[in-house]
Structure 1
Amino acid sequence: MNAVMQALNAEISVASRDPSIPGFCQRHKMGRSSYYNLKAAGHGPPEYVIGKLVRISAEAEAEWVREREADTSRARTAA
């Protein structure tokens, strides 16, 4: 796949991304209770609110993934 198609697919993916908590949980294959447990422990992604809707931006999600990867890397090197 050429670079133009990859960029187009990335744009479509971000545009069709569900920013809700259930959407986040589905993308990361976790239950909502696991999400709320992570959030309570201070390890959830940043959220923003629009009216009554709680959302997670693509940028916040990407940063959350990088932080979890770094935590995992540190834990593995410490073990």
Structure 2
Amino acid sequence: MYVDGNAVSPATMGGISGIVQRSGATVVDGSVIGSPPSDTRSPRLYLSGPADAVAPVARPFEGSAVQARPLTGGIGQASAL
């Protein structure tokens, strides 16, 4: 599995996804929005891609200061934010 959490355009993410998928790996698109975690702030990690791949990426963040938020619509949706 490949998770890309970089700030790239949806088109760039689509290109990356195509290359990675040809190798047989699953791709999850990610976008971190917000300040570093603190007592008053909690960043959000938006995730898009196949639902069966997004869920295991989001799971480790449950109960943490980072709010993982799955998006519908496939690869590129998180990068579009």
Q: Give the TM-score taking structure 1 as reference length.
A: 0.28
Structure with greater strand share of residues: 2
**Which has the higher relative contact order, 1 or 2, with Cα contacts under 8 A spaced 6 or more apart?**
2
Structure with greater helix share of residues: 1
